[in-house]
Amino acid sequence: MEKPPFDQLKKLASTDPAAFEQLRSDLLEDFIQSTPPAHHQRLRGLQFVVDSRRSLAKTPVKAMLEIQSMMHGSLEKLRQSLNRGRPEHQRPPSAHKTGNVVSIQRHH
């Protein structure tokens, strides 16, 4: 199944949210099916966690931040795993040590 262009997805999400969610679900399932069978259970488990975070979040922005945090956590674990056993002077700097924090002001 081919993903429709962004503008079509945006229109579908605003005019028929149920159809958008069904399409999203179908596209995700197609992707999972395109991977080796040994990965299916792990990918479905990950999608369950993502969907759970989305449903528990009070706003779409909060959901995005939750999922973004999950991704950063996974990348940090991968970085640590890749650096294990490397001498300290050969390790790249941590994103947490060099990253900038941006404050988002909410206007009422």
Contact 95, 76 (CB under 8 A): yes
Q: Does the pLDDT at position 102 exceed 70?
A: no
Span 90-99, average pLDDT? 60
pLDDT in tens, 6-21: 999 999 999 999 999 9
pLDDT of residue 99: 60
Q: Given its phi and psi angles, is residue 80 left (phi above 0), alpha (psi -120 to 50 degrees) or beta?
A: alpha
pLDDT in tens, 36-89: 999 999 999 999 999 999 999 999 999 999 999 999 999 999 999 988 877 766
pTM of the model: 0.68
